[in-house]
Amino acid sequence: MTFHSSRGPYPATRLRRLRQFPWSRALVNETSLTAADLIWPLFVLPGKDKEEPVVSLPGVSRMSVDRLLPQIDRAIELGIPAIALFPVTPAECKSDDGAEALNPDNLICTATRTIRAEFGEQLGIVCDVALDPYTTHGQDGLLRDGKIVNDATVEVLSQQAVVQAAAGASVIAPSDMMDGRIGAIRTALDAAGHDGVLLMSYAAKYASAFYGPFRDAVGSKGNLGSGDKKTYQMQPSASDEALHEVSLDLAEGADIVMVKPGMPYLDIVQRIKSEFSVPTAVYQVSGEYAMLSAAAANGWIDGTACMLESLLAFRRAGADMILTYFALQAAEALRE
């Protein structure tokens, strides 16, 4: 609305008044970002005293668990509540059926036990349930006659989840996108006495082009080759289907639902949070991280400012928690 005075027209409502001072901006701040909103994905190497930088993820390294422990200690000090573990499975441990996923002494289970023994219940440990780190073909499920078989895969995933829970995982995060796997895993966990373990479902996971650096990091890119995951991951064009996926996973017992990737799918995050009002996670995936990091390294953007702005965007869209490779860096920046 505009009023007139002897000085001419001027607005009665001036939104800039609230933006004048740091204290006034703080009072009307609508969305906050803290270290407690972050989950830090980590890549685990076999062996001891090992570290390998991931070229396509600047600043990110694969590490043996003894090298990870000081990093995790720093994360706890900064207030990061949870980590997500991903194994770099040796080639000799991979097979067509991904049997290593069920080995209670595999890399992810051994790392989980070590971290749990070191830090107790000071942080949550999120373990990924899918077969792609363990299969020679790089697919998330069992491959028969050139096709991913759903129900047989779900049986294996349920066993994998129980093995990880027994090792000390506090959150099981199925990323495979098989139909019905949340209900089957929940049933298997409860039957094995792990009824207190959370289920974080990759409920709306898209067949995205932004996953490349992650596949480099875990060593599945070469196994997948020219193959793709379009028969089980969602089409980037889909929106209503994401709500359908989430509703099914919630009905089957998911405690947390996730959208992956993040920034290209902010509309999906917002729709899910508005429709269901349940704990909602988002994964700022490797391609998103790599783009921001590369632009910052070239001096094209302010890396810290853009990092924090991107994370705040997830919170504004409705995400309660964010998986991001920036977690430690962001937590340090937020403390300053």
Mean pLDDT per 10-residue segment, the chain (336 residues): 60 91 94 97 96 93 97 98 96 94 97 97 96 91 92 97 98 96 98 98 95 79 72 94 98 98 97 98 96 96 98 98 98 94
The pLDDT score that the predictor gives to residue 46 is 96
Contact 190, 160 (CB under 8 A): no
**Short-list 149, 57, 71, 165, CA closest to 109:** 165
The pLDDT score that the predictor gives to residue 43 is 96
Please report which residue ranges of the chain form alpha helices under DSSP H. 22-27, 65-78, 107-119, 150-167, 181-191, 212-218, 221-224, 240-252, 266-276, 286-297, 303-317, 327-335
The pLDDT score that the predictor gives to residue 8 is 62
> 3-state DSSP helix/strand/coil percent for the chain, to nearest 5?
45, 20, 35
Positions marked active-site: 205, 260
CATH numbers and ranges of domains, the chain: 33-335 (3.20.20.70)
The pLDDT score that the predictor gives to residue 218 is 78
With a threshold of 0.75, does the pTM exceed it?
yes
The pLDDT score that the predictor gives to residue 83 is 98
The pLDDT score that the predictor gives to residue 10 is 78
From its phi and psi, is residue 46 left (phi > 0), alpha (psi between -120 and 50) or beta?
A: beta
The pLDDT score that the predictor gives to residue 2 is 53
Q: Answer yes or no: is 245 a known binding residue.
A: yes
Q: Looking at the chain, how many residues does it have?
A: 336
Beta-bridged to residue 129, according to DSSP, are 174
The pLDDT score that the predictor gives to residue 291 is 95
The pLDDT score that the predictor gives to residue 109 is 98
